[in-house]
Amino acid sequence: MDNIDKAILRLIQQDATLSVNDIAEQVGLTVSPCWRRIQALEKQGTIVKRVTLLSTEKLNVDLTVFVQVKAGRHDETWLTTFAEHAASFEQVVEFYRLSGEYDYLLKVVVADMKAFDVFYKKLVSGIDLADVTSSFAMEQIKYTTALPIR
């Protein structure tokens, strides 16, 4: 990946609606070579997909909760079952398996505390969990989907 590819990636991370013409102009290429580079970045899996970011406030899901889970068991069946169960909720927007004291971290977005309570009851129902703790975001200080490009 050369500096032109990196410049293309920086641009489309900031605005995926830019036309190929706009991108080409900003990176110093003509349209055809720029398009070929974008296609190659997609084909090799560097560009995974293009999405639109939505306003949590406008969609009334502006309560962010970080849920930490300790596994009830550590066998493959439990791990697979829990991963499928937790990932199935549309309120879970990020989901990680961790090292350390807690085994999983879920980022959950909901409308309010009542909606979180409904979500929580569904999350813990029928699943053997050792411990669950939740932290409520009071302020979003930084949010970006842009990855650092070196």
Residues near 34 by beta carbon (within 8 Å), at least 6 away in sequence: 8, 20, 23, 24, 27
Q: What share of the chain is helix, strand, coil (3-state, %, to 5)?
A: 40, 20, 40
Instruction: Tally the domains of the chain.
Output: 2
In a domain, 25, yes or no: yes
The CATH number linked to 18 is 1.10.10.10
Q: Can you read off the two tokens belonging to residue 13?
A: 């991370």
**Mean pLDDT for back-to-back runs of 10 residues, the chain (150 residues):** 97 96 98 98 96 95 97 93 96 97 97 98 94 97 94
Q: Same domain, yes or no, for 36 and 67?
A: no
Whether residue 83 sits in one domain with residue 37:
no
- pLDDT value for 126: 85
Q: Are 78 and 71 in contact (CB under 8 A)?
A: yes
- Domain region containing 108: 63-136
